[in-house]
Amino acid sequence: MSKVIPINPTQEFKERTRHVLNDPAQRQNFRGAMDFLQAKRRAQFPDADELQTLRELGSQIRRYSLANLPRLLEQLEASLTANGIQVHWAQNPDEANAIALQIAQRVQAKRIIKGKSMVSEEVGFNHAMQAAGIEAFESDMGEYIVQLAGEAPSHIIMPAIHKTKQDIARLFEQEVPGVSYTEDVDALIQIGRRVLRHKFAEADIGLSGVNVAVAETGTLCLVENEGNGRMCTTVPRVHIAITGIEKVVEKLEHVPPILSLLTRSATGQSVTTYVNMISKPRQPGEKDGPQEVHLILLDNGRTQAYADLELRETLKCIRCGACMNHCPVYARVGGHAYGTTYPGPIGAIISPHLLGLETTYPLAFASTLCGACAEVCPVKIPITDLLVRLRNEAQARPDTEDASLRGSGAARSLAQTTVWSVWSQVYSKSGLYKLASWFMSRGRALSPSDQGAWTRSRTPLVPAPKRLRDLMKDHADKK
Amino acid sequence: MSARDQILGRLRSAPLNTETVTPDVAGWFAGHRTSDNLTQRVARLRQALEAVRTEVHAVTSDNWVSVLLGIVATKKLRHLLIGHNTSHGEAVAQQAPAGLQIVRYEQAIEAWQAQLFDGIDASLTLARGALAQTGSLILWPTPAEPRLMSLVPSVHIVLLDAHTIHADFHAAMTSENWAQGMPTNALLICGPSKTADIQQTLAYGAHGPRELVVLIRQQQEGVAS
């Protein structure tokens, strides 16, 4: 069964990163997968004008939805309630799990079958259910594989992206009774299908995420290819959907552009096999579908991001994963190195709100600021600007205006602060600059040979024997 | 104070974003829409469906049953699940050969779940429409043709009337005014179920149907494939 995702990026981030970088097989997996996903996405957007105008539209829809968020959440609640879907609000993971557990206990559920839901990973859903003696079984093929391996997903769209078919063949041979080793992908998928069909049939509750919630009609939209999402939301007698409060849009017509951007950016598909729109529990006369449908709306730090207009842009995210697919850092270190539910660039900018900057600030520094993420983001989140903002927040002096987040100032140290204030003085006063650069060039022999991370793979930095101003002077003297 | 009130309270106390514009979704689609006439829409739909391993047949109102029964024979299907009292389902039932067992979805799922999961080869449902741009079939399951018909059997056969094909998702929902009232469950289906979760290798038949067969029915005499 899945273990709790280790959330302590500060202490372990470097260690985990080093571990992956020293694993050539895993680096090759990620590189191959990223090249594949980048090419698939590129092929979906042959028309640059269409891409840019659609991104602008997507950005407008998400920004408009956020600007009206409290009103739209109330409208969503009213529409869903009128449709017979029960709405619950949770401020944090504990509240979300308690709501689900209360429902499970009331309907005497023993087994929960899960469709893909990153929010359920965020709240540690499986662990909370297990602790209460309820089985929570993953049904997305990738999620099933990582659960079987006792791991966490390493990518938000393709959870088992770090595993080769050989890894999965060995895993199935060891963990699935009666299965012998096969590297044939079709055969492996059919093994998963057989195991999980039984799980769908015997589950009491189906759990799913939500891709878009529509306020005007009270509709929960889910996209998927496998059909497990439809199974989870149709076969068990109770369906619980869990989502962040930011996923709402006002109108049904806002759905087509968002889904088009989502599927093309995520997996390079013009549409997924299934778009599943759920508006009601089973109605009188209907012969299948759940008798009860619940929606859990989760805050978990999202209101902190919402409180600041710049950081609010983070909440436009539609969870396509394109930013991680194009990130040079993610491609090298993979998803597990981040140590958070959401890895990659989006993980670096959303995790500080969910978990606090104290434990997550190193993620904002794990970026080259190359801007690939912001360039491909289908809803135009200015990811690099937000990374810089979070770096500043991490260094902010506590109890000042600059420190606005939970954990602001966590990276601040006396040594660094002193260095930067000296640097600031030197670079803003010409006399001081002249003097300092004179000492630097004359004292270059004293440059340390060990310059920390820099000299691990590079020659030491040594100041030039002559300053620019000295060279200019020599040049003028020669004339 | 309840969790709801606290969350809404925090959202309400946040600064207002004055830079938002009301999105013009209809305008964007109007400027980017292709596939105007029916012939083009049929061709586009067919191309998009075939790209995801879907079997597409052009049929007429006269020959569709015999085409369907030909498919049933080729695939050696032993059972066909049809809806409860649907005219298209009964049309097939009337001409079903001796080797094909017709099963009707007459009872609530609780009464026959094991049979549906393990003992049905194929199902037939009528599509409400389709989207040419993405190759999606629109299904609004009903008490007569419930949700699991298009999900559990290994082969899903869909009858689609050509005149119900829309250009795209936005065109379908606005021309039919979906926002006025959504059904319990509305679906867009494009191809058989699939996954690429193992090393990005595409495999069909993940959890839903392994095969999707679409019969595009035209009223006038057309050429059957």
> What does the pLDDT look like over A62-88, one tens digit per residue?
999 999 999 999 999 999 999 999 999
pLDDT for res A47: 96
Confidence of residue A3 (pLDDT cuts 50, 70, 90): very low
Site from A94, A224, A267, A273 to mutate, B interface, most B CB atoms within 10 angstroms:
A273
> What does the pLDDT look like over A234-281, one tens digit per residue?
999 999 999 999 999 999 999 999 999 999 999 999 999 999 999 999
State how far residue B184 is from chain A, nearest Cα, in angstroms: 5
> What does the pLDDT look like over A5-25, one tens digit per residue?
444 555 688 888 988 899 998
Query: Is B188 an interface residue toward A (CB < 8 Å)?
Result: yes
Query: Is A139 an interface residue toward B (CB < 8 Å)?
Result: yes
Tokens 């005499």 sit on residue: B221
State how far residue A6 is from chain B, nearest Cα, in angstroms: 23
Residue at which a domain ends, from A250, A275, A303:
A303
Residue at which a domain ends, from A257, A285, A303:
A303
Chain A neighbors of B12, CB-CB under 8 A: 70
Query: Is B17 an interface residue toward A (CB < 8 Å)?
Result: yes
pLDDT for res A10: 55
Structure tokens at A203: 């589950």
Site from A287, A298, A380 to mutate, B interface, most B CB atoms within 10 angstroms:
A287
Query: Is B87 an interface residue toward A (CB < 8 Å)?
Result: no
Q: What is the 3-state secondary structure (H, E, C) of A359-389?
A: HHHHHHHCCCCCCHHHHHCCCCCCHHHHHHH
Query: Is A343 an interface residue toward B (CB < 8 Å)?
Result: no
pLDDT for res A6: 47
> What does the pLDDT look like over A396-428, one tens digit per residue?
988 888 889 999 999 999 998 899 899 999 999
∠ at Cα B179 (B173, B184), nearest 5°? 95
Q: What is the mean pLDDT of residues A146-161?
A: 93
State how far residue A193 is from chain B, nearest Cα, in angstroms: 6
pLDDT for res B5: 98
Interface of A with B in 94-123 (CB under 8 A): 95
In a domain, A384, yes or no: no
pLDDT for res B225: 42
In a domain, A356, yes or no: no
| pLDDT above 50 (res A133) | yes
> What does the pLDDT look like over A279-315, one tens digit per residue?
999 999 999 999 999 999 999 999 999 999 999 999 9
State how far residue B13 is from chain A, nearest Cα, in angstroms: 8
Mean per-residue pLDDT of chain A: 94
Query: Is A234 an interface residue toward B (CB < 8 Å)?
Result: yes
Query: Is B108 an interface residue toward A (CB < 8 Å)?
Result: yes
Site from B28, B207, B210, B212 to mutate, A interface, most A CB atoms within 10 angstroms:
B207
- For the domain spanning B29-218, the CATH number is 3.40.50.10420
| pLDDT above 90 (res A479) | no
In a domain, A373, yes or no: no
Split into its structural domains, chain A has a count of 2
Query: Is A219 an interface residue toward B (CB < 8 Å)?
Result: yes
Chain mean position to CA B23: 29
Chain A neighbors of B182, CB-CB under 8 A: 217-219, 252, 277, 279
What ipTM score was computed for the predicted complex, to two decimals?
Answer: 0.96
Tokens 């308690």 sit on residue: A98
Q: Are strands B194-195 and B203-204 parallel, antiparallel or unpaired?
A: antiparallel
pLDDT for res B137: 98
Chain B neighbors of A217, CB-CB under 8 A: 178-179, 181-182
In a domain, A466, yes or no: yes
Residue at which a domain ends, from A238, A269, A303:
A303
Task: Give the whole-number percent of chain A exceeding pLDDT 70.
Answer: 98
A152 and A275 assigned to the same domain: yes
Asked whether the beta carbons of residue B169 and residue A197 sit closer than 8 angstroms, the reply is: no
Nearest to B28 among A53, A228, A299 (CB): A53
Asked whether the beta carbons of residue B174 and residue A253 sit closer than 8 angstroms, the reply is: yes
Query: Is B73 an interface residue toward A (CB < 8 Å)?
Result: no
State how far residue B220 is from chain A, nearest Cα, in angstroms: 30
Q: A–B: how many Cβ contacts below 8 A?
A: 258
Chain B neighbors of A190, CB-CB under 8 A: 205
CATH of the domain at A126: 3.40.50.10420
Query: Is B76 an interface residue toward A (CB < 8 Å)?
Result: no
> What does the pLDDT look like over B102-154, one tens digit per residue?
999 999 999 999 999 999 999 999 999 999 999 999 999 999 999 999 999 99
A21 and A151 assigned to the same domain: yes
Q: Are strands B165-166 and B129-131 parallel, antiparallel or unpaired?
A: parallel
Nearest to B15 among A64, A192, A309 (CB): A309
Residue with more model confidence, A15 or A51: A51
Q: Among B146, B189, B154, which residue's Cα sits nearest to residue B169?
A: B189
Asked whether the beta carbons of residue B185 and residue A218 sit closer than 8 angstroms, the reply is: no
Report the distance separating Cα A24 and Cα B191, nearest Å.
37
Task: Please report, for chain B, the start and end positions of each structural domain, with discontinuous segments joined by +.
Answer: 29-218
In a domain, A398, yes or no: no
In a domain, A362, yes or no: no
Nearest to A188 among B2, B148, B198 (CB): B198
Query: Is A84 an interface residue toward B (CB < 8 Å)?
Result: no
Instruction: Name the residue range of residue A74's domain.
Output: 9-303
Q: What is the pTM of this model?
A: 0.94
Beta bridge partners of A111: A135
| pLDDT above 70 (res A2) | no
Interface of A with B in 399-428 (CB under 8 A): none
| pLDDT above 90 (res B219) | no
State how far residue A286 is from chain B, nearest Cα, in angstroms: 4
